[in-house]
Amino acid sequence: MESSTSSSSESTYPPKLTPERLKILRDAFYIGLQMPTKEEKESLLERITSLPNCEHYTYKSPNGWFKNNRKAARQYAQNALQPSRKRLRLTSKGLEILHDAYKRGIRTPTSTQRERLVKRITALPGCGHYTNKNVAGWFKDKRRKEHVTVTASSSSSSSSSAPTQKFSFTPSDEETLHTLFANSPYPSKDLVSVWAELLDAHLDDVEAWIFAEQQALEQSTHKRQHSPGTWPSASESTAALSQCPSPVSQSHYPHLPPPLSISQYSSEGWQQPGTDLDAKFVCLPTPLSIGTSSRSSSPALQDSSDGAVSPCPRTCTDATSESSKLPAVPSSTPPSPNPTDTKVEVSEGFHSIFASSMAHLIG
Mean predicted confidence (pLDDT) in 140-168 = 59
321 has pLDDT over 70: no
The pLDDT value recorded for residue 28 is: 79
Does the structure show a pLDDT above 80 at 218?
Answer: yes
Counting other chains too, the contacts that 292-295 makes at CB distance below 8 Å and 24 or more residues apart are 292/318, 292/319, 292/320, 292/323, 293/317, 293/318, 295/320
Cα-based torsion angle of the residue sequence 150, 152, 153, 154 in order, rounded to the nearest 10 degrees: 80
Q: Which residue has the higher pLDDT, 248 or 211?
A: 211
Q: Please count the residues of the chain.
A: 363
* Average pLDDT of the chain to the nearest whole number: 66
The pTM (predicted TM-score) of the whole model is 0.25
Spatial distance between the Cα atoms of 191 and 189, rounded to a whole number of angstroms: 5
Domain ranges for the chain, please list them.
2-81, 92-152, 171-222, 262-362
Q: What is the dihedral of CA 19, 24, 30, 33, to 10 degrees?
A: -140
Could you tell me the pLDDT band of residue 319, with boundaries at 50, 70 and 90? very low
Q: How many C-beta atoms lie closer than 10 Å to residue 356's C-beta?
A: 22
Class of domain 171-222: mainly alpha
Alpha-carbon dihedral angle through residues 102, 107, 109, 114, given to the nearest 10 degrees: 30
Are domains 92-152 and 171-222 of this chain identical in fold? yes
User: Of the given ranges (137-141, 180-184, 225-229), which has the lowest mean pLDDT?
Assistant: 225-229
Arithmetic mean of pLDDT, 313-323 = 47
Closest CA to 319 of 348, 343, 290, 345: 290
Whether 283 and 353 have beta carbons less than 8 Å apart is answered as: yes
C-beta of residue 353 within 8 angstroms of C-beta of residue 300: yes
Residue 329 clears pLDDT 60, i.e. is over it: no
pLDDT in tens, 54-64: 666 665 667 77
Tens digits of per-residue pLDDT, 14-70? 556 677 777 877 787 777 777 778 788 778 778 877 777 766 666 566 777 778 888
Q: Where residue 344 falls among pLDDT bands split at 50, 70, 90?
A: very low
The arithmetic mean of pLDDT across residues 250-266, rounded, is 51
73 contacts: CB under 8 Å, gap ≥ 6? 34
Domain boundaries 2-81, CATH class: mainly alpha
CA distance 271 to 281: 9
CATH 1.10.150 fits domain 92-152: no
Q: What is the pLDDT of residues 68-102, one digit of tens each?
A: 888 888 887 777 766 656 667 788 888 899 988 88
